[in-house]
Copies of this chain bind each other. A is one copy, B any other.
Amino acid sequence: MLSETLTLPDGGMLTLRRARADDVPAIVALLADDQLGAARDGVDGPDGAGPYLRAFAEIDADPAHALVVVEDAGAVVATLQLSILPGLARRGAKRGQVEAVRVGRTHRGRGLGTAMLRWVIAEAERRGCALLQLTSDKSRTDAHRFYTGLGFAASHDGFKLTL
């Protein structure tokens, strides 16, 4: 079972671990507590948490995906998902894709995002990826600086089509 201690620059020690079904409401709250996510996420719709729990079961059943949370004194304070994609390009390289990175308001500015990204970089390497990739909304200018500071190249445009 994946579980690891993240030590922050201020000495704080948090636990990064694989998400469980009972973490889903807290993860959804993190997704919704965001300028862009507020309109898109929340468990107050007519279907409640149902669609989220179905999606969780699918993620959890497939070893290609790792949905993790960070816990502080029993509370979920951050989350991200890593997915491993096989492909032919770059001599058959596996690529890791990071989605849904969120750090709760109470825990920002403490280097937690950096610690999480360092973990996901190491985890993608352990899983044999030659490349790690993610996209970030162009309006998130802080995120841009954050990812390039970690060594990512902002080399691509990310295109999205709502179906």
Q: Report A's interface with B, CB cutoff 8 A.
A: 24, 27-28, 31, 37, 40-41, 45, 47, 51-56, 58-59, 62, 64-65, 67, 81, 83, 85-94, 96-97, 99-100, 121, 124-125, 129-138, 144, 147-148, 150-163
Contacts and interface: CB of A to CB of B under 8 A. Distances in A.
Contacts of A96: 163
Nearest to A57: B86
- In the complex, which of the residues A55, A67, A157, A160 has the most CB atoms of chain B within 10 Å of its own CB atom? A157
A129 B163 CA distance: 7
B155 A55 contact: no
B138 A160 contact: no
Contact of A100 (B47, B54, B89): B89
A89 B37 contact: yes
* Identical chains bound together, number: 2
A132 B163 contact: yes
Contacts of A52: 88, 91-92
A162 B124 CA distance: 11
Contact of A157 (B31, B81, B121, B138): B138
A144 B132 contact: no
Contacts of A47: 91
